[in-house]
Amino acid sequence: MMNDKPASLSEFELIRRIRQQAGTAEHLILGIGDDCAIQQQQANQELLTSTDLLIEGIHFDLRWTSLEALGRKSVAVNLSDIAAMGGTPLSLFLAVACPAQLNSDQLQQFTQGFLSEAEKYSVVLAGGDTCRSTGPLMISVTVQGTVSKGRAIRRSGASPGDAIYVSGSLGDSALALQLLQQGESPPSQLADRHHRPQARVALGQQLAAQQLASAMLDISDGLLADLGHIAEESAVGAEIELSRLPLSNRFRAALEVDPQRLDLALTGGEDYELLFTSKVQDLSQHPELKPAVTRIGVITTEREINCRRPDADLYQCSRGGFDHFA
């Protein structure tokens, strides 16, 4: 198409550069350069596909996010969806709509971040689309992966009595964002959780292979909102024990300054940890699960989500989870 190129760099030149750096993979018969990518399929596997849209001003802010970190994050958040099914990510597709102000150096930084993060997970960039945006920078990433037939872990499999687990720690990313928005610079451990989230691919694969999870998703909108999705799809409720929430030392320190920050761990979002339910009541017998998982509650029959305080009263959360249309 004419007149839809990013500033100072032709569409073809940009795609040529991306193609040069994109690498190859065994399953990828034909990558960037033709009308479609061609991928080899395996007979005993099912295909997983997920798309995420990232829009400047809504999902990221270039005042405190570098293009390189944005490239990394746009890969990680997408792979997190494959992790949440227990799958193995294989291929990425990247569509970018570039505003005229973005120069070729910045695009190069984005591509570099994107491709090095993809390489970390042995995932290949197999295609995409590139055009000019008259509005903000928009990035659409599609990931495809595979899972053994019938082994994908859905949101709909939770039953009353199942234990609820979460990987890693909660709230660090939301706390970092809160500090950034207040004009403070968060310590690097927190900032990294926000700018460089890790997709829990290996953990998801372990849970699927050992059939340890009855339902699972990744926490992008906040623990309570995402637990709500499992509850909704499984037609169950849940009770969380606040004293069991896995919180980092940095988060605990910030909590002492302002106890209201507990809500960041419950509703902050962008944790990209795995939240799952299991028939197994004590997964501490599974030290191979990395990062470690913490039991935070139980699935119930009443269709509501409650948070139990250490004094046994119910906790009223002051914020909802993230909802684009709220």
Decide whether 18 or 175 has the Cβ nearer to ligand ADP: 18
User: CA 171, CA 270: separation in Å to the nearest integer?
Assistant: 8
Least distance to ligand ADP, CB of residue 241, Å = 45
Based on CB atoms, which residue is closest to ligand ADP, 9 or 254? 9
Q: Of Mg ion, ligand ADP, none, which one does residue 35 interact with (CB within 5 to 8 Å by kind)? A: ligand ADP
Q: Nearest approach, Cβ of 263 to ligand ADP (angstroms)? A: 38
Residues at the interface with ligand ADP (CB under 6 A): 15, 18, 32-35, 94, 96, 125, 127-130
33 vs 161, beta carbon nearer ligand ADP: 33
Dist. CA 87–CA 82, nearest whole Å:
5
In the bound complex, what is the minimum distance in angstroms from residue 41's beta carbon to ligand ADP? 19
Give the shortest CB-126-to-ligand ADP separation in angstroms: 7
- Measured from each CB, the residue nearest to Mg ion is 129
**Partner whose footprint covers residue 310, from ligand ADP, Mg ion, none (CB < 5 to 8 Å by kind):** none
**Nearest to 153, CA basis, from 266, 291, 274:** 274
Q: In angstroms, rounded to a whole number, what is the distance separating the alpha carbons of residues 289 and 205?
A: 10
- 258 Cβ partners below 8 Å, 6+ apart? none
| Closest separation in Å from C-beta 47 to Mg ion | 22
Least Å from the CB of residue 29 to ligand ADP:
13
Closest CA to 108 of 10, 32, 17, 13: 17
Query: Looking at beta carbons only, is 128 or 269 nearer to Mg ion?
Result: 128
Closest Cα partner for 252 from 265, 238, 236, 270?
A: 265
Nearer to ligand ADP, 1 or 257 (CB): 1
C-beta closer to ligand ADP: residue 59 or 193: 59
Cα 10 to Cα 191: distance, rounded to the nearest angstrom: 34
Nearest CA to 162 out of 111, 230, 112, 219 is that of 230
Q: Among positive and negative, which fits the CA dihedral 296, 190, 112, 101?
A: positive
Element (H, E) at 105: helix 104-120
CA 126, CA 19: separation in Å to the nearest integer?
A: 9
Among ligand ADP, Mg ion, none, residue 128 binds (CB under 5-8 Å by kind): ligand ADP
86 binds, among Mg ion, ligand ADP, none (CB under 5 to 8 A by kind): none
